[in-house]
Amino acid sequence: MIISVIGGSTAKAEHVELAEEVGRLLARRNVMVACGGKTGVMEAVCRGAKAAGGLTIGILPGRTSRESNNYVDIPIVTTIGYARNVIVVNTGDAVIAVGGAFGTLSEIAHALGDGIPVVGLSTWKLSIKGDGDPIVDGVIEADTPEDAVDKAIEAALARLRSEGESAEAAAGAQYDR
Amino acid sequence: MIISVIGGSTAKAEHVELAEEVGRLLARRNVMVACGGKTGVMEAVCRGAKAAGGLTIGILPGRTSRESNNYVDIPIVTTIGYARNVIVVNTGDAVIAVGGAFGTLSEIAHALGDGIPVVGLSTWKLSIKGDGDPIVDGVIEADTPEDAVDKAIEAALARLRSEGESAEAAAGAQYDR
Amino acid sequence: MIISVIGGSTAKAEHVELAEEVGRLLARRNVMVACGGKTGVMEAVCRGAKAAGGLTIGILPGRTSRESNNYVDIPIVTTIGYARNVIVVNTGDAVIAVGGAFGTLSEIAHALGDGIPVVGLSTWKLSIKGDGDPIVDGVIEADTPEDAVDKAIEAALARLRSEGESAEAAAGAQYDR
Amino acid sequence: MIISVIGGSTAKAEHVELAEEVGRLLARRNVMVACGGKTGVMEAVCRGAKAAGGLTIGILPGRTSRESNNYVDIPIVTTIGYARNVIVVNTGDAVIAVGGAFGTLSEIAHALGDGIPVVGLSTWKLSIKGDGDPIVDGVIEADTPEDAVDKAIEAALARLRSEGESAEAAAGAQYDR
């Protein structure tokens, strides 16, 4: 299982601590960690995962693996800039958001739009005016790293079960090379 | 000048009306309209722009121009799925959001993250818990299509002035083929 | 109809002349020109098209419309780097290649892989060793700009006819926002 | 070190054998294998790598990890279709091409355009008419899987040495989230 952790490249000490603990707990549960591969929350979650012997994937925006933080095991050099945010969330079976600014908000939105569960730790609160948007399907709030990891793994398992056949079908013909 | 208009592919009648009027007003101001090229708000804004003799650009997610609505003059076939949302907002000198669901939210977030002004008509309200995010730089609210178009054109002009040199420099070396 | 013209950003005088004439002839046939929006062959084909009153689309790799050449009417700011080459060819109903280096070769390959006809003017010659690749479906060679434009328009019309229903179906459900 | 192996999704038995042996040899040299994650040569190289205890990365075009072959350890769900070919080659410190059709040709071209060394096993032969293209910097031909792996690792090491500082600089400022 892969869980993507998203958050700002410049993060408050509070969020860095939360992200590092999330990484540690995911690694202890034998879950691989994917992230944007850079600084702040991304570096913290990788550092935590490595401290617990986990495997980390950094999905980078630029054109060289040298831009990844020092705790990324597998740098994916996308070259497509912030459009890589879509890849960060789709690579996770579920997503955990820690704090974050606009880049993180774009990832939360892409995930929710694609039916990928998002668990939040002191991150964006969403509300819409006028539109009957099912915000009941929005971010699942968590109070602690333990709570976030439990809810993310549970949501990922539920998603994997429910999407089985449909996803299988969708995947099939679409791209054959 | 190009202004991108974003909103849901399934939109309430209220938002369809607002989008169509926005398209009409942008065309009357000789502003080209860019959008995701599909149904709902995207189709409405193109229909409005065409009714006023404007030019419409549809930045499509799929692999054929046949997926565009009937009011798109210039279909851009990106083939990259929802990652095309990044292109929709970056192609605009400013963005107007009308209603919208998660896809629209991802576009608002990408735009604000890239410093592209966003004017909103009954769309997402953003707030963040814990993080000192400068939400003062968030969506510029508008009350009517007229108000939205005025504010978007004003913001686009201000951006074009301020970004002149810096953007020039940034653009230069980066990609030479 | 849109025809994409591809070639190097640094081009020999011979190729610049060919590209400019291709742009002029496409505009005279009321065909819109799409290209990568930058220098060399891209600038030449846009200059030719504008000289004949045509419309030009520049599908840019970077993060600002300022990187486009002076003859682009509609700058598409993709922000995704050279991955935008896929968008350049898919946006055309057919492709004309003039000279070109590796970037052009990647575009020829993406086009042929996606069943988009490619007409070539003194461009890459392809051959494969060992693999039974149907290179009979490769680049359609042309001798002059007139010949290239005739063959490209003919191939585009044939493709539009043949792909009608199938493309319709493919486009349908896939992306609904 | 990561080396990307590219080739057709429908491959001749001869190419499947070559790819499987390439995967086995890369794993024995403790090199991670990246590929497009699907069938044919992609599946063969992953199967070979796993047989020798290696780690495999599948950079998928579609929207679900279910489209990956059974020997992919780390599925990257790009959602961007064939534009993901750019990511496949940029994620490798060097590339090995085995046979292949147009998709493979697009990857060879993107790699050479980005200065990523490409070693070929019975794959495309490139030549250009008219253009003074430095085809001396083209595909490095190899005769056997052993020869291909030796040359790819050597080229990757040379590239890592030479690009050190320049890449560092390039990576820096460009994307800060």
Please name the residue that has the structure tokens 């083939």: B79
For the segment A31-50, what is each residue's pLDDT rounded down to a tens digit? 999 999 999 999 999 999 99
- B174/C77 CB distance under 8 A: no
Smallest CA-to-CA distance from C117 within C100, C93, C150, C146 is with: C93
Give pLDDT tens digits along chain D (177 positions).
Answer: 999 999 999 999 999 999 999 999 999 999 999 999 999 999 999 999 999 999 999 999 999 999 999 999 999 999 999 999 999 999 999 999 999 899 999 999 999 999 999 999 988 877 664 444 445 568 999 999 999 999 999 999 999 998 875 655 554 445 544
Which of chain C's residues have a Cβ under 8 Å away from the Cβ of A83? 79-80
Instruction: Answer with the residue of higher pLDDT: B161 or D166.
Output: B161
Please name the residue that has the structure tokens 């993507």: A4
For the segment A95-129, what is each residue's pLDDT rounded down to a tens digit? 999 998 899 999 999 999 999 999 999 888 776 64
Question: Per-residue pLDDT for A90 more than 70?
Answer: yes
pLDDT of C167: 52
Which of chain C's residues have a Cβ under 8 Å away from the Cβ of A79? 80-83
DSSP D75: E
For residues B56-84, give the mean pLDDT. 98
For residues C141-170, give the mean pLDDT. 87
Question: Per-residue pLDDT for C134 more than 50?
Answer: no
Instruction: Answer with the residue of higher pLDDT: A3 or B137.
Output: A3
User: Quick one: three-class SS letters along chain C?
Assistant: CEEEEEECCCCCHHHHHHHHHHHHHHHHCCCEEEECCCCCHHHHHHHHHHHCCCCEEEEECCCCHHHCCCCCCEEEECCCHHHHHHHHHHCCCEEEEECCCHHHHHHHHHHHHCCCCEEEECCEEEEECCCCCCHHHCCEECCCHHHHHHHHHHHHHHHHHHHHHHHHHHHCCCCCC
For residues C117-130, give the mean pLDDT. 81
For residues C101-106, give the mean pLDDT. 94
pTM for this one?
A: 0.93
**Residue B170 confidence class, pLDDT cut points 50, 70, 90:** low
CB B103 within 8 A of CB A103: no
Interface test with B, best of D63, D64, D79 (most B CBs within 10 A): D79
pLDDT of C62: 97
Name every residue in D having a CB less than 8 A away from some CB of B. 63, 79-83, 113, 174, 177
Pairing of strands D118-121, D94-98: parallel
pLDDT of A96: 98
pLDDT of A33: 98
- B66/C168 CB distance under 8 A: yes
- Give the range among A8-22, B135-149, D67-81, D90-104 with minimum mean pLDDT: B135-149
Task: Looking at the complex, report in whole angstroms how far the Cα of residue A4 sits from the nearest Cα belonging to chain B.
Answer: 17
Nearest to B64 among C80, C83, C167 (CB): C167
For the segment C16-38, what is each residue's pLDDT rounded down to a tens digit? 999 999 999 999 999 999 999 99
Nearest to C125 among D100, D108, D129 (CB): D129
In our burial notation (b when 16+ CB lie closer than 10 A, e otherwise), range C84-121 reads bbbbbbbbbbbbbbbbbbbbbbbbbbbbbbbebbbbbb
Question: Per-residue pLDDT for A86 more than 70?
Answer: yes
Strand partners, A141: A120
**Residue B25 confidence class, pLDDT cut points 50, 70, 90:** very high
Please provide the average confidence, as pLDDT, over all residues in chain A. Answer: 90
Which of chain C's residues have a Cβ under 8 Å away from the Cβ of D130? 12, 14-15, 99, 122-123
- C9/B75 CB distance under 8 A: no
pLDDT of D169: 55
Question: Per-residue pLDDT for C115 more than 50?
Answer: yes
**Residue A81 confidence class, pLDDT cut points 50, 70, 90:** very high
- A79/C83 CB distance under 8 A: yes
pLDDT of C130: 43
Locate A146 and state its tokens.
Answer: 């333990």
Percent of chain C at pLDDT exceeding 90 = 80
pLDDT of A8: 95
DSSP D51: H
Which of chain D's residues have a Cβ under 8 Å away from the Cβ of B177? 113
Q: Which residue of C has its CA nearest to A110?
A: C177
* Beta carbons within 10 angstroms of residue C135's beta carbon: 16
Nearest to B82 among D79, D82, D174 (CB): D79
**Residue C138 confidence class, pLDDT cut points 50, 70, 90:** confident
Question: Per-residue pLDDT for B104 more than 60?
Answer: yes
